[in-house]
Amino acid sequence: MAEELPQDLIDPRIRLDFDGALAIVTLDRAEKLNALDQAMLVGLEDAFDRVEDAKDARVMLLCGAGKAFCAGGDIAAWAALSPLDFAHGWVKQGHRTFDRLARLRLPTIAVLSGHAFGGGLELAGACDFRVADNGIKLGLPETGLGMVPGWSGTQRLVRRFGAQLIRRLSLGGEMLGAEAALEVGLVDRVVAPGLGLAAAREMAQAVAARGPAAVQAAKLMINAAEGEEVSAPVEILASAMIAATADLREGVAAFREKRKPGFEGR
């Protein structure tokens, strides 16, 4: 049974729980199909920061309460914004939050127990894996509203799943069921309705059983190859290697003792 942490996150509609090696982040706005407003975006970023800092966490699950995973951005939250506020507030904050998710040190699994539309699909697409209940729908309906995907639907999703698929979803308005999404690689596993969380936990336990340092390094390298982030993995991996050297320990000791270091190249 997951232990619920005190609800001191920035937004109460974002829940964060830990269960052994698993961190579980849940969108909890079921009455609005977990549609995101700007405060929820900030709350998600806060939750992801806390997961990053949780030393015992090895895998994160991202879930949606109720009947939907996430219906995307709340139209009421952005429709009245000025063009400047829309671009520099709404869209920019979404990118900050989704980039934070995509670049978490630990693997992430989106639990699609309900529909994922627009920003909801962009959110799921920022995770490393997606487990879907059969019967759900996925799509990018923004152009039907005279809008465009704004939280990397035409960028990250193209890199990860291919331009032609995203053309079908965004330009053509195609909606994919879970099985069709599995065939094109948009989701990684499809299970019977109601079994998504259990299947995601099973997948998470398999990932968590592997070497955590190796898993995190592999994720960094995959992100770099995919263009998710290029310079950070080089510095992170090199710094981790250097941190294990005797030369670093000698350099720190020499600094503290105000003497010239005697490096040995090891």
Catalytic residues: 122, 142
Cβ(109)–Cβ(61) below 8 Å: yes
Nearest CA to 176 among 194, 195, 157?
157
Instruction: Please name the helix (run of DSSP H) or strand (run of DSSP E) that holds residue 133, with its range, or none.
Output: strand 129-133
Give CA torsion, residues 137, 187, 223, 38, to 10 deg: 20
Taking CB atoms within 8 Å and a gap of at least 24, the contacts of 212-216 are 212/58, 212/106, 215/58, 215/106, 215/107, 216/105, 216/106
Residue partners of 163: CB distance under 8 A and separation at least 6: none
For 72, counting Cβ atoms within 10 Å of its Cβ (0-12 exposed, 13-18 middle, 19+ buried), the class is buried
Q: How far is CA 255 from CA 14, 204, 243, 249, 250, in A?
A: 45, 43, 16, 10, 9
Cβ(51)–Cβ(101) below 8 Å: no
For the chain, the farthest-separated pair of C-alpha atoms sits apart, in whole angstroms, at: 68
Identify the residue whose tokens are 């219906």: 71
Q: How far is CA 66 from CA 34, 114, 197, in A?
A: 8, 8, 13
